Structure 1
Amino acid sequence: MNADPSELQKFGDMAHHWWDPESEFRPLHEINPLRLDWIDSLFPLQGKVVLDVGCGGGLLSEGMAARGAQVTGIDLGEKALSVAKLHLHESGLNVDYRLISAEAMALEMPAQFDAVTCLEMLEHVPDPASIVKACATLVKPGGHVFFSTLNRNPKSYLLSIIGAEYLLRMLPRGTHDYAKFIKPSELARHCRSNDLALGELTGLTYNPLTRAYALSKDTDVNYLMHTRRHV
């Protein structure tokens, strides 16, 4: 199984806070509109069939469903999925949540989705290349795959771990493991080897003075990558 038991435990222990915008998931709540707008601008979601890999408590999944997509969300965290399913009763949205790995889903439903999203997940798994391969298998020829993760360099370590986890305390200590961060060149190589053509690369930055996130050309820390499967 391409999952770290300690990572599943860590996020499972926090799962009941997933939809609390003032909790340790506050950064996800704040970047979610930016992520949604970015995806929707490159691939209009209305009426599309979309898979959200590593959906967690369902923030992105529900956001895409609210924009008219038919969404399936998959994760290996049972507690997070339980929270995601419960929140549907509050939101009234329709998302099909499943406890299954990306690799198993790829065997079951190859080339079935118009788009696949895999955001803030690759830096938490033992074998990110396997996830990229599964995402490429799951999307239809000509379909879109969206990734986001953390770059690996001294600036990223300083801002995302020392700054975010220790100084600003935006995230619980131990949320990220620097050794698992992925350079854009590395992710791009995984994509190319799986017939995913590179599209747009954009950065996500945080201003501690205004406490606001923004999309930018600065990919030194957080970045999003848009790819498209060859026809």
Structure 2
Amino acid sequence: MTEATNVDPQELAKFGDLAHRWWDPESEFKPLHRINPLRLDWIDKHARLAGKRVVDIGCGGGILADSMARKGARVLGIDLAGKALKVALLHAMEAGTENVEYREVAAEALAAEQPGQYDVVTCMEMLEHVPDPSSIVRAAATLAKPGGWVFFSTLNRNPKSFLFAIVGAEYLLKMLPKGTHEYARFIRPSELARWCRDAGLDPADSRGMEYNPLTQRYWLSGDTSVNYLVACRKP
């Protein structure tokens, strides 16, 4: 599958329609705002973001990209959702965030253009929204410098994740719009690890992300049965 076809137009439209709400912490993107500090600290613990060159694949409205720039990284956020990128750019201007820029370009196209140019590559909550996630993993590996870090987060595929991430989050708790996720596109950790190794990456660490609907608190744990993060090194 080429970079030109590794995109789902319905997914782009879905997030494009919500673009104006990306930076509203009480909107449909509230979970992203809540989990962002956890993701940011975990990435920074491994990669020490200050002074690093970073690319954030599937950056959307820029929640993670902006926060990595504020940690001192030089960040490029890429996405194919033009409306979300405009929101990200506007927010960076309004907030005065330095060292962050955005481009509407496919990960595969950027990898062909700038192989081995980034100290850190992030791709969070995005793999489960594209037709060929393994292609994104290969692109991320190509973009990373030798010795660089590559980070992914996605959703496990099992009955518990279906219950928690779709039935619970979308229908019962209404934390996310209905139809945000498609269960068949969820990715088992073993599948993601295989794609990483096939792309020349060494999986180095993984963590699960849990949520308590009563306290509305998120935390990282060893339980990767629903949401999980993976950190890889490029030899």
2:107 equivalent among 90, 102, 105: 102
**Are 2:162 and 1:157 equivalent residues in the alignment?**
yes
Partner of 1:78: 82
**Are 2:187 and 1:182 equivalent residues in the alignment?**
yes
Distance 2:208 2:39 in 1: 11
Distance 1:121 1:162 in 2: 20
Q: Percent identity?
A: 65
Partner of 2:58: 54
TM-score, reference length from structure 1: 0.99
1:3 equivalent among 3, 7, 14: 7
2:224 equivalent among 215, 219, 223: 219
The gaps in structure 1 that reach 5 residues or longer are: none
Deviation at 1:96, TM superposition (A): 1.3
State the aligned residue count.
230
Distance 1:105 1:8 in 2: 19
Partner of 1:16: 20
Instruction: Show structure 1 runs of 4+ deviating over 3 A.
Output: none
Deviation at 1:68, TM superposition (A): 0.1
Distance 1:53 1:146 in 2: 10
Distance 2:84 2:159 in 1: 32
Match of 2:34, SS?
helix
Output the amino acid matched with 1:19: W
Partner of 2:94: 90
Deviation at 1:90, TM superposition (A): 1.6
Distance 1:205 1:125 in 2: 24
Distance 1:73 1:67 in 2: 15
Distance 1:88 1:43 in 2: 23
Output the amino acid matched with 2:91: H
**Are 2:219 and 1:204 equivalent residues in the alignment?**
no
TM-score, reference length from structure 2: 0.97
Deviation at 1:199, TM superposition (A): 0.6
Distance 1:134 1:118 in 2: 11
Distance 2:213 2:161 in 1: 15
Output the amino acid matched with 2:202: A
Distance 1:202 1:216 in 2: 6
1:64-123 per-position Cα deviation (integer Å, ceiling 9, x unaligned): 000000000000000000000100122101311000000000000000000100000000
Match of 1:218, SS?
coil
Deviation at 1:50, TM superposition (A): 0.4
